[in-house]
């Protein structure tokens, strides 16, 4: 064992260490261990209460054990990079990283001390916490502690001075002052103060030890291995703290710091600190397709959806506790931004409060007291659930993988089963059930737009085609969209694509029906479409409707219908890339592009539309909210069938106002039939008619290749 040479002498490495219980009597040490074991016991008991709460939920049928390894890898990748916390709030993300890594290193350091003093040394006679290992340990703990405290102080500054709106806990589903959530603010501050006090007292403890043992060359001579503590020691000495006073302060600080840390550990499962554990577990069990592929209902269940808190899966109950109240979902929600009584965060917090009140006791309350629907402060209003556009903005931005949309849809399923919905929505669902489309038109009229074309289109049900086109309701029946549909058919014909339609064999794909919560009707539509598709003759499906694209691609496989399907933008982008479709005229318009939720956030297709826009020579200026942060048009989740509240701003109007900020904007580009309907109406109602126009990307392609007008082509 090589000696360690310093300016103050040469030492045996085993001399360079720290006696944890230095100057403590055996009875005092025993007393500390009693308190320590009591804290561990309380931690385990509180953890048991929480685990029992989760186990009172139902099984999570969507998760497979084989996914566990991948889930653990994902969790570590998120924690180590902090990428989900840095999104759209970079500085806060980095500060949280300093807190997280600082806390982790400090916790690991405490565990290392415990490992030697309580396990390896007494049981095996093995010691390692000395010499250079100990010195590097001191340096690392000083760095970690300073990062930890810096991050916490920033969070305090952010809450008290910056006060970002997303940290305002005022509920949009309640009248002002109807419900006080000040307890959350108090909890946040207590959490921050306890954490920062533990960090600061740790440094003060080390500093007073340096002063107390300044005559010991193994302490004073190596003091700069703990630079922050040493600077504090010099400051205290300058203020008149001598060795004797430092000894007294060190003893008092030792107990204060130790008891505070043990109390913190004991209460982790019952306080905001719980997210340290629940967030990590939530990330492990993250379903990357949570909103894109909703869970099937269990035919053996007496009722469908989430009616009572015990209907929730254990994973969704865990999600409620994983919420850190960061407000990212609150900020991203288009319903909340336009004045609707919905905040995804507040839905989760209300359900958390309800779960804690009803499920943490030894026995569950009566069945009548378990309903999560209602007007009580910890229940969720029907109006709140119907405000959701299921656009997935909340799920996309949540840093801890909470599944807001699946939870809301599950709760909607119960409302639908009970008939608690807008009468117009109920009528629309009945119409879809009767006619197979939301317009109430005869199935024979689904392809009536074809009659104006100067050529015939194959029937993919009876003839072999390379490409089968699933058109969708709005592209088939809406007069404005029919013109776009006809242009796309003519583009395919110009490209000599061997394509066909399903004509009256096609029904509503069911994407929005399912997100309304009408699972029975959705399954009927899906099964009918799948049966029709199986009997048809094609190599692949294309669609101009992102809603149909999402459910056929992601949800039909659960019903035995796995088909190759593409949205038209990726299909045409590839053809343009192969130079099989070449613009003959450059379009010099200044445009902006709206990412449809079901094409962008749901299916990550952000580049193909932009590739086409660039190929057409358009000057693309992005809006502030774009790609995964795109702002929903307001049509999703069946909201296109539900009247908006008179006088309240619509999400589509909000989006148009955002686009209007772009200088010299000429065209607002969309690639979804519902977007075309919603935004053309919004331009008129928001006062921007005549300033710029809404166009489908297909219309711009037709203009760039100088496709003759339909009247000219027919003549």
What is the SS3 assignment for 433-501?
HHHCCCCCCCHHHCCHHHHHCCCCCEECCCCCEEEEEECCHHHHHCHHHHHHHHHHHHHHHHCCCCEEE
The Cα 153–Cα 148 span in angstroms is 9
Residue ranges per domain, the chain? 28-56+65-167+191-282, 290-420, 427-714
Q: Which residue has the tokens 């307001």?
A: 634
Task: Tell me the pLDDT of the chain averaged across its residues.
Answer: 94
pLDDT at 368: 86
pLDDT at res. 280: 96
Question: 69-78 long-range CB contacts below 8 Å, 24 or more apart?
Answer: 71/283, 71/284, 71/285, 71/286, 72/284, 74/283, 74/284, 74/286, 75/280, 75/283, 75/284, 78/283, 78/399
The pLDDT confidence band at residue 2, using thresholds 50, 70 and 90, is: confident
Per-residue model confidence (pLDDT) at position 7:
66
pLDDT reported for residue 293: 96
Task: Give the residue, 482 or 304, on which the prediction is more confident.
Answer: 482
pLDDT one-digit tens code per residue, 111-136:
999 999 999 998 998 999 999 999 99
CA–CA dist 58, 267 (Å, integer): 27
Q: CA 262, CA 271: separation in Å to the nearest integer?
A: 14
Q: Over the stretch 441-474, which tens digit does the pLDDT of each residue have?
A: 999 999 999 999 999 999 999 999 999 999 999 9
Reported as a pLDDT band with limits 50, 70 and 90, residue 1 is: low
At residue 40, does pLDDT exceed 80?
Answer: yes
What's the CA gap between 318 and 208, in Å, rounded? Answer: 43
Interacting residues of 432 by C-beta distance below 8 A, sequence separation 6+: 438, 508, 513, 521, 525
What three-state secondary structure class fits 546?
helix
The predicted pLDDT at position 714 comes to 57
Is the pLDDT at 277 greater than 70? The verdict is yes
Query: What pLDDT, on a 0 to 100 scale, did the predictor assign at position 181?
Result: 81
User: Quick one: pLDDT at residue 606?
Assistant: 98
For 293-318, what is each residue's pLDDT tens digit?
Answer: 999 988 777 788 999 999 999 999 99
d(C-alpha 311, C-alpha 305), whole Å = 7
The number of residues making up the chain comes to 715
- pTM here is 0.94
Mean predicted confidence (pLDDT) in 71-86: 95
pLDDT band at 231 (very low <50, low <70, confident <90, very high): very high
Return the minimum-mean-pLDDT range out of 295-309, 337-351, 395-409, 440-454.
295-309
The answer to whether residue 325 scores a pLDDT higher than 60 is yes
Domains 28-56+65-167+191-282 and 290-420 equal at CATH topology level? no
Cα 672 to Cα 476: distance, rounded to the nearest angstrom:
13
Residue 193 has pLDDT above 70, yes or no: yes
CA distances for 502 relative to 288, 447, 698, angstroms: 32, 9, 21
Share of the chain above pLDDT 70, in %: 98
Range 290-420 has CATH code 1.10.1060:
yes
pLDDT digits (tens, 9 = 90+) for 553-595: 999 999 999 999 999 999 999 999 999 989 999 999 999 999 9
Cβ–Cβ under 8 Å, residues 555 and 294:
yes
150-159, 294-303, 326-335: least confidently modelled range: 294-303
Contact 471, 501 (CB under 8 A): yes
Structure tokens at 681: 């109406």
Q: 437, 477 in Cβ contact below 8 A?
A: yes
Please give the pLDDT value at position 14: 84
Residue 715 has pLDDT above 60, yes or no: no
Q: b/e map of 575-610 (b: 16 or more CB within 10 Å)?
A: bbeeeebebeeebebebbbbbbbbbbbbbebbebbb
Query: Using CA atoms, how far apart are residues 223 and 231, in angstroms rounded to an integer?
Result: 10
Which CATH number does 28-56+65-167+191-282 carry? 1.20.950
pLDDT band (50, 70, 90) for residue 89: very high
CA separation for the pair 550, 297 (Å, rounded):
19
- Residue range 199-230, pLDDT digits in tens: 999 999 999 999 999 999 999 999 999 999 99
The CA-atom distances, in angstroms, between 240 and each of 89, 203, 234, 237, 252 are 44, 18, 10, 5, 18
């Amino acid at each position: 064992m090589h000696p360690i040479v310093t300016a103050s002498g040469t030492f045996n490495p085993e001399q360079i260490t720290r006696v944890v219980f230095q100057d403590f009597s055996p009875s005092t040490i025993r007393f500390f261990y009693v308190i320590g074991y009591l804290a561990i016991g309380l931690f385990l008991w509180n953890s048991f209460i929480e685990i029992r709460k989760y186990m009172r939920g139902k099984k999570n049928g969507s998760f497979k054990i084989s996914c566990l390894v991948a889930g653990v890898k994902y969790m570590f990748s998120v924690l180590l990079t902090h990428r989900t916390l840095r999104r759209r709030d970079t500085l806060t993300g980095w500060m949280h990283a300093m807190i997280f890594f600082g806390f982790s290193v400090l916790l690991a350091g405490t565990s290392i001390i415990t490992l030697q003093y309580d396990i390896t040394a007494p049981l095996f006679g093995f010691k390692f916490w000395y010499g250079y290992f100990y010195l590097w340990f001191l340096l690392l703990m000083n760095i970690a502690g300073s990062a930890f405290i810096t991050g916490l102080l920033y969070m305090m500054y952010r809450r008290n001075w910056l006060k970002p709106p997303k940290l305002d806990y005022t509920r949009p589903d309640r009248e002002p002052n109807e419900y006080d959530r000040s307890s959350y603010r108090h909890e946040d501050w207590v959490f921050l103060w306890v954490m920062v006090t533990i960090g600061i007292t740790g440094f003060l403890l080390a500093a007073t030890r340096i002063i107390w043992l300044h005559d010991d060359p193994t302490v004073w001579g190596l003091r700069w291995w703990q630079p922050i503590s040493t600077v504090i020691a010099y400051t205290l000495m300058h203020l008149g703290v001598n060795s004797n006073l430092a000894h007294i302060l060190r003893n008092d600080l030792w107990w204060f710091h130790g008891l505070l840390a043990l109390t913190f550990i004991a209460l982790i499962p019952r306080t905001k600190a719980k997210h340290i554990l629940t967030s990590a577990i939530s990330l492990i069990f993250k379903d990357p397709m949570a909103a894109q592929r909703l869970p099937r209902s269990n035919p053996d269940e007496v009722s469908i959806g989430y009616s009572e808190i015990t209907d929730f899966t254990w994973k969704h109950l865990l999600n409620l506790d994983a919420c850190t109240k960061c407000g990212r979902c609150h900020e991203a929600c288009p319903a909340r931004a336009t004045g609707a009584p919905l905040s995804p965060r507040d839905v989760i917090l209300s359900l958390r409060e309800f779960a804690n009140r009803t499920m943490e006791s030894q026995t569950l309350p009566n069945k009548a007291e378990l309903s999560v629907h209602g007007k009580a402060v910890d229940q969720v209003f029907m109006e709140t659930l119907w405000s959701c556009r299921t656009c997935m903005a909340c799920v996309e931005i949540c840093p801890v993988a909470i599944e807001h949309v699946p939870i809301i849809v599950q709760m909607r399923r119960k409302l639908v089963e009970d008939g608690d919905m807008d009468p117009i929505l109920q009528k629309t669902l009945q119409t879809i059930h009767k006619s197979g489309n939301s317009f109430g038109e005869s199935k024979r009229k689904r392809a009536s737009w074809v009659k104006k074309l100067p050529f015939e289109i194959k029937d993919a049900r009876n003839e072999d085609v390379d490409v089968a086109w699933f058109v969708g309701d709005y592209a088939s029946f809406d007069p404005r969209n029919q013109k776009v549909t006809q242009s796309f058919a003519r583009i395919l014909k110009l490209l000599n694509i061997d394509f066909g339609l399903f004509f009256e064999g096609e029904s509503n794909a069911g994407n929005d029906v399912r997100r309304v919560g009408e699972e029975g009707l959705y399954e009927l539509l899906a099964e009918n479409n799948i049966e029709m598709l199986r009997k048809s003759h094609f190599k692949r499906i294309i669609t101009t409707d992102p809603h149909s694209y999402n459910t056929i691609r992601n949800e039909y496989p659960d019903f035995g219908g796995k088909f190759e399907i593409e949205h038209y933008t990726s299909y045409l982008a590839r053809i343009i890339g192969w130079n099989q479709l070449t613009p003959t005229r450059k379009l010099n318009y200044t445009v902006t592009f709206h990412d449809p939720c079901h094409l962008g956030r749901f299916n990550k297709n952000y580049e193909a539309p932009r590739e086409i826009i660039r190929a057409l020579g358009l000057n693309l200026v992005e809006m502030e909210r774009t790609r995964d942060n795109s702002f929903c048009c307001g049509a999703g989740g069946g909201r296109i069938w539900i009247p908006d509240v008179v006088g309240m701003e619509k999400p589509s109007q909000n989006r148009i106002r955002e686009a209007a900020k772009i200088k010299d904007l000429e065209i607002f580009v969309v690639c979804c039939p519902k977007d075309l309907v919603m935004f053309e109406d919004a331009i008129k109602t928001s006062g921007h008619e005549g300033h710029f126009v809404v166009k489908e990307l297909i219309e711009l392609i037709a203009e760039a290749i100088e496709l003759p007008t339909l009247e000219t082509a027919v003549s």
